[in-house]
Homo-oligomer: A and B are copies of this chain.
Amino acid sequence: MSVSRRTFARIAAAGTAAAVASPAIAQGAVKWRMTSSFPKSLEGLYGASPTVARLVSEMSDGKFEIQTFGPGEIVPGLQVMDAVQNGTVECGHTYSGYYVGKNPTVIFDGSLPFGLTARQQNAWYMFGDGKRLIDEVYDGMGIVSIPMGNTGGQSFGWFRKEIKSPADFQGIKMRVAGFGGRVMAKLGVVPQQIAGGDSYPALEKGTIDACEWVGPYDDEKLGFNKVAKFYYYPGFWEGGPMLHVLVNEKKQAELPKAYLAALETACGEANQWMQAKYDAQNPPALRRLVASGTQLRPFPRAVLEAAEKAAYEVYDEMSAKSPHFKRIYPDWKKFRDEQFLWFRVAELTYENFAFTASQTVK
C-alpha cells in the first residue's frame, strides 16, 4: 500500500480544516476475520460480532475492518478456540465453557455453577483478580481473551417430562454446556455437548430428552417449545455467563495500539449491548411462550439444594485434579462470597420489594 498523490492532497487540506477535519487517512489498513460459535439467527449472541466490527470501523474511519462469520462458514461452532490458536482466523467470539475438556480452568472466564452474576463477573474481572488470573490461563495457549457479552441469568431448560424431585433426572440425556454438565451428571443426567443450532433437531428426533440454551428470546427462536412442554428456571450453572472474543496472541501483537484500544473498548460496549438486548427482549418472548402453552416452572428447592451439593463435589474434584484450578478457585470463591453477602443488602432488598410490590399498587 502506498500513499497516493491524492491522499497527500487530502491530508494537506485536512491540516487547514483543523478540528473539524476527518481523521481518515488511507494508511494503516487492517483486515481481520472473526468467527462466531453462535448461529446468525441468534442476533443477541451472534449480533455482538457485527456490533464490534461496526464500532472499530467507525472509530478507525474504516481502516480497521473485521469481517464476521457464523458457525460452519470457516470452522464449526465448537472449534473457535482451535481456529484462533492455529491462526486460521485472527479472532473468534465464543463461550469458554465449550473448552473445559481442553483446560478446565477456562471456565473462570465464563460461568461456574452457583457462581457470579453478570455484574459480579464484570467486577471480579475488572477490579478483582479475574483478569490477571484469566490471562494466566490463556497465556500458555497463545491466545488472549477479551470479555464480549453476557446473557444474564439463564433458564434451566426444556424437558419433555415434569421434574418433581432430583430422582427424575436419572438417565435423562440433556444438552448442557460447561460445568453444568458435570454437575448434572452427578444427579444422574447424561450430559451432551451440542452446538446451539444443532440442539433443536436433536431434541426433536429424541437423540436427547432435554436441553438448555439461554433464555426465552433465544429458546423461542430455536423452537424448543414445539418439542418440549416444561420450561424450568433458574439455570444455576449460568447465573451470568461471560462470553469473549479470543484473539490470536501474535496477531494482537501486530495490531497498531490505537486499533487494539478500539477493539477492547468496542468489546466493552458489546458486553453491555448484549446484556441490554436480552433484558429487553426476554420479557415479551416469555409472554409469547407461555401463551403458546409452555409450562413455566421454578425448580423445587430440593432440586437446587441437590445441585448445589453436587457443584461443590465437582469443585473439590477439579481442585484435586488440576493444580491450576486449585490455585484460582479460592480467589474466585472468596470474591463470590463477599459479593453474595453485599448484594443481599441494597440490591436484593430493593429488588425483592420493588419487583413484587409494584404489581399490587398500580
Contact = CB atoms under 8 A, between A and B. Distances in A.
Interface of A: 1-3, 8, 11-12, 14-16, 18-25, 27-30, 55, 58-61, 63, 114, 117-120, 122-128, 152-155, 215, 233-236, 239, 254-259, 261-262, 265-266, 268-269, 271-273, 275-277, 279-284, 286, 296, 298, 301, 304-305, 308-309, 312, 336-359, 361-362
Contact of A19 (B30, B119, B346): B30
A221 to B, nearest CB: 16
Contacts of A284: 338
A245 to B, nearest CB: 15
**Which of A11, A29, A305, A351 has the most chain B CB atoms closer than 10 A to its own CB?**
A351
Listed from nearest, the 9 A-B pairs whose CB atoms lie closest are: A127-B280, A234-B350, A58-B261, A268-B269, A283-B342, A23-B28, A123-B279, A123-B280, A3-B15
Given A351-B343, A359-B341, A269 B279 contact: no
A85 B215 CA distance: 43
A307 B2 CA distance: 68
Contacts of A309: 361
B14 A22 contact: no
Given A127-B280, A152-B347, A268-B268, A114 B358 contact: yes
A310 B261 CA distance: 47
Contacts of A361: 308-309, 312
Given A2-B16, A153-B346, A123 B24 contact: no
Given A2-B15, A265-B265, A286 B119 contact: no
A344 to B, nearest CB: 5
A346 B299 CA distance: 11
Given A1-B18, A234-B349, 14 more contacts: A23-B60, A24-B258, A59-B265, A114-B358, A119-B276, A123-B280, A124-B280, A126-B280, A234-B345, A234-B353, A272-B272, A312-B361, A336-B358, A340-B355
Nearest to A287: B338
A114 B355 CA distance: 9
Given A27-B15, A275-B122, A258 B59 contact: yes
A235 B336 CA distance: 23
A14 B27 contact: yes
Contacts of A23: 25, 27-28, 60, 63, 256, 258-259
**Which of A280, A341, A356 has the most chain B CB atoms closer than 10 A to its own CB?**
A280
A258 B55 contact: no
